[in-house]
Structure 1
Amino acid sequence: MTTTHAPPSQHTAPNKRTKISLEPYLYLLPHAVLFFVFTVYPIGYGLYISMHRWDMLNPNQVFVGLEFFRNLFTPGTPQFEFFWRTLLNTTFFTVVSVPLLVASALGLAVLLHRPIFGRSFFRAVFFMPGILTVSVMGILWRWMFDNQIGLVNAARDLLTGAAPIPWLSTEGLAWIPIVVGTIWWTLGFNMTLYLAALSNVSVSLYEAASLDGATPWQQFRFITWPMLTPITLFVVITTALASFQLFGQSLTITNGGPSRSTQSVIQYITEEGFTNSQISSAAAMGFVFGLMMLILTGAQFRMMARDVTSSEGK
């Protein structure tokens, strides 16, 4: 009779406490230190300054709470008048320049994506202004639109004999060199992004559309544009954020004039802090403007994520 022996019972070893490894945190430590020193500390210190009547010559700073923030929302104060006026100027510049920058970059990219003669040369020509500093760009366009000796007025005089137009000292017209100069300066970057996106569109889609009798406009509308939607959203977001940070162009071309009609909000914050020596007021303005940019960025990224998700669902 064969006796079957049961296998020896296997006792599960007690769970040992998981040992935490410090190695991953050591890799993160350099970035964490830099993030704290250059981001967290300046933000906290700026908030501290905005709540005190800051005087760099006085070691004892008077705590005033939210006084400088209230000034921004109290009609009749200079801070209320000039902050919201310059914010409106910046918004106007963004609303005008962003569609032009996106449309012109897309048009150039579609044109230079084709196998035309000198394609590489023209790509380089449109991209090269982007390597200039904002000061060089501003001086160049200020000279071109100078009221008396500018190249634009000289060309008008040569072609039509008309009197010079005071571009830089006329409200409304002063925006033209700023907007046109900004488009000329930053067009190449967006164009390069679109060129990279166009290279990923399969040629077979256009070949199939041609066989079905689709016109060039129909190919662009139903193939090119839908395929470029993700990069278009990225271009719109980055261009809008860059436009809201308008500073160097208006400073060097018009110096915010005439009558502050082209002064950007960052230019006014700089003036409040360093020209008027109102450091606390400038810090409060910076926080309010930064919060607005965070809200705008969050809304745009939410829109981009929703669009990408819907595209993947299709």
Structure 2
Amino acid sequence: MSLSLPRENVPPRRRRGGESSGLVPYLYLLPFALLFFVFVVYPVGYGFYVSMHRWDLLAETRPFVGLEYYRNLFDFSTPQAQFFWNSMRNTAFFTIVSVPLLVATALGLALLLYRPIFGRAFFRAVFFLPGVLTVSVMGILWRWMFDNQIGLVNAVRTDIFHLQPLPFLSTEGLAWIPIIVGTLWWTIGFNMTLYLAALGNISQSLYEAAEIDGATAWPKFRFITWPLLGPVTLFVFVTTVLASFQLFGQTLVITAGGPNRTTQSAIQYITEEAFTNNQFSSASAMAFMFGLVMLIFTFLQFRIMARDAREGS
């Protein structure tokens, strides 16, 4: 004798027409895909097209020149190649100097402000708030502070320490000081916040067990805190390097790329080549060369992140 469920308890059959609901996720993705194509894919493709032609806005014809502008970047007898690779060297110098400071100082502040000290929330806000300023406001502030004549730094040197004022903004080498110090003051709060969040996820039982074994502050940091902060440190390092490579506003406002182009960043020179010299084809080739360097570095960083994830799993 066969058993059968009451008709009202039989689950309803799935309609064949419901299979078309598989298109619904793509409909949700369609607005983003359109925006991505209009604002990313099309500009990149059009920029590459410009770099392959001798582009003149006033000319009726724009002849195809192939890789001529890319080859010019490796012909150091041309001023474009000299200025471009000089700006790349300046950008690399800024990255090499600023990234360790931004990572180490942010970690130090996070370790200090994670402890239950008086006014902890106030000091956290003090270090984080500069990050809400625009780059123009930040640049004007630090340009004034390091001004050769009326700057606050030179006023302190002359009035308190009775030293001669230093021409920070017009001396090669010294001009990097307001740029690096200003960037450190401006962006350190974000990295500090990431470290504070990571420190909050470390179990206190690990430190209690270490104290029972007689561990002091340095062994606890070396064997507990630092290893557990590894993923966050890698993330902070990658994002900080990418942001440092995009140096533009600080050098433009504080030093205008001077003196003698010693602080001119790559993006700043590409902008000058396009909108001041009206060399759009050359600027497009420089932009793609700069983007290629960024892609190579990003690829290497993702390889490191993937290896770190596999070793940690």
- Which residue of 2 is the match for residue 182 of structure 1? 183
SS of the aligned residue for 1:294 comes to: helix
Q: Distance between the aligned counterparts of 2:46 and 2:169, measured in 1?
A: 39
Aligned to 1:80: 81
Identity %: 71
Q: Which amino acid aligns with 1:82?
A: F
TM-score by length of 2: 0.93
d(CA) in 2 for partners of 1:22, 1:140: 53
> Partner letter of residue 145 of structure 1?
F
Counterparts of 1:13-32 in structure 2 under 5 Å?
21-32=22-33
CA distance in 1, matches of 2:121, 2:25: 45
SS at match of 1:63: coil
Correspondence for 1:9: none
Q: Partners of 1:252 and 1:66 in 2: how far apart? A: 34
Secondary structure at the aligned position of 1:83 is classed as helix
- Find out whether 1:137 has 2:147 as its counterpart: no
Give the C-alpha shift of residue 295 in structure 1. Answer: 0.7
Q: C-alpha offsets along residues 243-286 of structure 1, whole Å, 9 cap, x if unaligned?
A: 00000000100000000000000000000000000011000000
SS in 1 for 2:262: coil
My pick for the range that moved more, 159-168 or 278-287, is 159-168
Give, in whole Å, the separation in 2 of the partners of 1:24 and 1:185: 40
Which letter does structure 1 place at the counterpart of 2:220? Q
AA of the residue aligned to 1:113: Y
Tell me what 2:312 maps to: 311
RMSD of aligned alpha carbons: 1.3
Partner of 2:101: 100
- Is 2:195 the partner of 1:201? no
Partner of 1:68: 69
Shift in Å, 1:24: 2.5
Between the two proteins, the alignment pairs up a number of residues equal to 296
Partner Cα separation in structure 2 for residue 214 and residue 40 of structure 1: 55
Question: Per-residue CA shift, 1:83-123, capped at 9, x if unaligned?
Answer: 11100000000000000000000000000000000000000
Deviation of 1:162 (Å): 1.1
Alignment partner of 1:152 is 2:153: yes
What is the match of residue 36 of structure 2?
35
The Cα shift of 1:43 comes to: 0.6
For 2:24 and 2:117, locate their aligned partners in 1 and report how far apart those are by CA, in whole Å: 54
* TM-score, length of structure 1 as denominator length: 0.92
CA deviations on 1:130-179 (whole Å, 9 max, x unpaired) are 00000000000000000111100000112221111011111011000000
Unmatched 5+ residue regions in structure 1?
Answer: 1-15
Hey, which bits of structure 1, 4+ residues long, moved more than 4 A? none
Distance 1:28 1:189 in 2: 30
Q: Which residue type is aligned with residue 272 of structure 1?
A: E
SS at match of 2:160: helix
Stretch of structure 1 that moved more, 61-70 or 221-230: 61-70
Q: Structure 2: how far apart are the matches of 1:239 and 1:24? A: 34
Determine the structure 2 residue equivalent to 1:219.
220
Amino acid at match of 1:76: S
Amino acid at match of 1:32: A
Separation in 2, partners of 1:260, 1:67 = 25
Deviation of 1:58 after TM superposition, in Å, equals 2.3
1:195: Cα distance to partner? 0.3
Deviation readout 1:217-257 (Å, 9 max, x if unpaired)? 11011100000000000000000000000000001000000
1:271-310 matches, within 5 Å, as: 271-310=272-311
Q: Secondary structure at the match of 1:164?
A: coil
Q: Give matches, 1:230-241, under 5 Å.
A: 230-241=231-242
In 1: Cα distance, 2:212 partner to 2:153 partner: 48
Which amino acid is 2:242 matched to?
A: L
Distance 1:228 1:246 in 2: 27
CA distance in 1, matches of 2:190, 2:60: 47
- Between stretches 155-164 and 44-53, larger displacement belongs to 155-164
Task: Provide the rounded CA distance (Å) in 1 between the counterparts of 2:226 and 2:298.
Answer: 23
Tell me, in whole angstroms, the C-alpha distance in 2 between the residues paired with 1:217 and 1:206: 12
1:75 CA drift (Å): 1.9
- Distance in 2 between the 1:49 and 1:185 partners? 36
